[in-house]
Amino acid sequence: ALKDNTVIVVLGASGDLAKKKTYPALFGLYRMGFLPRDVHIVGYARTKMDDAEYHKRITSYIKIADDDEDGKAKLEEFKKFTFYISGGYEDGPSFENLNRFIEGIESKYQSKERNRLFYLALPPSVFIPVAQHLKEQCYSKDGKNRIIVEKPFGKDLESCRELLSSLKQHWSEDETFRIDHYLGKEMVKNILVLRFANVAFGAAWDKNSISNVQITFKEPFGTEGRGGYFDEFGIIRDILQNHLLQVLSVLTMERPVSFSAEDIRDEKVKVLRAIPPIERNDTLLGQYVAANGKPGYLDDDTVPPNSVCPTYAATTLWIHNPRWEGVPFILKAGKALNEAKVEVRIQFKDVTQGIFKDISRNELVIRIQPSEAVYLKINAKTPGLNTRAIPTEMDLTYKRRFTEIKIPEAYEALILDALRGDHSNFVRDDELDVAWKIFTPILHWIDGKNGPAPKPVPYPYGSRGPKELDSFINKYGYKRTVAEYTWPIMNVS
Ligand code: BG6
């Protein structure tokens, strides 16, 4: 682990990601006492600004209640070891300057050990020159060096391979931490425990019991302002190929020999390799249009007119191994929908009929956000002088069950893992390679690379998504719960 004598360098310190995620997470870790003793944080970006302006920026997303005196004091302390230095991303002298600045900090350390953690909150266009300069000009010779990189890791299989091999010229796999922040979310980490620490779940975790699985991401806002970036990537690269596929791999992998990073990632890669590329007819694409006073995707000034970029996608994946053969895994994600929700929904098969008719299927739902929960839809006897079965649920809602616990932010968990040198929740190079293999053919089709690009179907801003969604899901055997369960309220007076 990087304990004492550590400098954390945030590159792209004036950008959105740093402001919204990286710095709040660093502060959160500091507040909880998880940053190394004597840590220093150096922000680096092209924008010229003084420390005061920099502090204002990086604290703009850190929320501290008015009466939280401890929080305010901690924030003042945090600012004292947080500095800024500006420079270019592609020239050696700027990085020499950065290195001198870091050395200035390190010269005050008691021992000779000097550890450096570089966090690249940068657009992909400068990943490679920055990684190279950091290695050439800013690499510590007396301690550990680590580099954290963020998606996008390329746009398809070929560009991903190019990016990986360029980064590898300078940084070893062991030093590299590729973030997929969904792997830092509490309920995603929980999947391994739910599956492998419970005989009751583990025993039903296969094609014999499970009919279909949906992994769903819904956001209630559009691309607002990020249209330029988004249009180049689309919802599949933004959400499905990384976040949802990662969830799928932990949900379906075999039991790892241990919780070590390589054992876990070996199993993830193995299951991903059993998934063939997605077929066009297993795909539903949508794009939101103006509704209820909200603008459509094409109304965004940063989006090219007539863009056919999907802002909604549902794709069905199949796993060809003995556990999962024939079970459809539907990954679906959309912007500008009716709610914010991310969940895994496992629908079990029909119970043997005969004594029951029209009875609901069991569903195990893992709600990743908001309000973390695991609940199992079950059938029970209608209470009272009645023998009919009704659907109800066993509900583990975290807020109710674990009242004293604050669930950490994904970025807090991941930065701490990187400081500790634990790769379990970071994406290994071969995982990325196989993830791109699954998605590259449909992405090229959508990009219009080998023929006319498909036109996404329109859906209104704020709706559930394309109206074709229900029949798309039904096609894979999903059955809606027969009757919505309501608690029978008696007239007791
Ligand atoms: C990012 C995507 O990776 O994840 C964004 O680029 C998306 O488009 C975000 O909004 C969602 O993350 P979270 O943690 O808010 O679910």
Of 170, 243, 423, 444, the active-site residue reads 243
Owner of token pair 């029949």: 471
| DSSP code for 362 | P
pLDDT number for residue 387: 82
Each residue of 346-391: pLDDT tens digit? Answer: 999 999 988 888 889 999 999 999 999 999 999 999 899 888 888 9
Q: Is 243 a catalytic residue?
A: yes
Rounded to the nearest integer, the mean pLDDT of the chain is 94
Q: By C-alpha distance, which of 252, 188, 260 is closest to 423?
A: 260
Counting from 1 in the atom list of ligand 1, the atom nearest the Cα of 342 is 16
pTM of the model: 0.95
Lowest mean pLDDT among 121-125, 162-166, 219-223, 411-415: 121-125
Owner of token pair 């992909």: 124
Ligand 1 centre distance from Cα of residue 339 (Å):
14
Mean pLDDT of 244-263: 97
Mean pLDDT of 29-46: 95
Q: By C-alpha distance, which of 152, 276, 160, 252 is closest to 202?
A: 252
Q: In whole angstroms, what is the distance from residue 344 CA to residue 217 CA?
A: 9
**CB within 8 A of 480, min separation 6: which ones?**
none
pLDDT number for residue 470: 96
Q: In whole angstroms, what is the distance from residue 256 CA to residue 249 CA?
A: 12
Ligand 1 centre distance from Cα of residue 368 (Å):
13
Q: How confident is the model at residue 161 (pLDDT cuts 50, 70, 90)?
A: very high
Each residue of 404-421: pLDDT tens digit? Answer: 989 999 999 999 999 999
Tell me, what's the ipTM? Answer: 0.96
Counting from 1 in the atom list of ligand 1, the atom nearest the Cα of 182 is 14
pLDDT number for residue 482: 67
Ligand 1 centre distance from Cα of residue 144 (Å):
30
Q: Is the CB of 238 under 6 A from ligand 1?
A: yes
- State yes or no: pLDDT of 221 exceeds 50: yes
| DSSP code for 174 | G
Q: Name residue 199's amino acid.
A: V
Pocket test for ligand 1, best of 243, 302, 371 (most atoms within 8 A of CB): 243
Q: In whole angstroms, what is the distance from residue 73 CA to residue 376 CA?
A: 44
Q: Sheet harboring 176-178: ordered strands across?
A: 82-86, 40-45, 6-11, 115-120, 145-149, 176-178
pLDDT number for residue 481: 75
What percent of the chain lies above the pLDDT cut of 90?
88
Q: In whole angstroms, what is the distance from residue 396 CA to residue 374 CA?
A: 5
Ligand 1 centre distance from Cα of residue 217 (Å):
9
Counting from 1 in the atom list of ligand 1, the atom nearest the Cα of 217 is 16
Is the Cβ–Cβ distance between 21 and 413 less than 8 Å? no
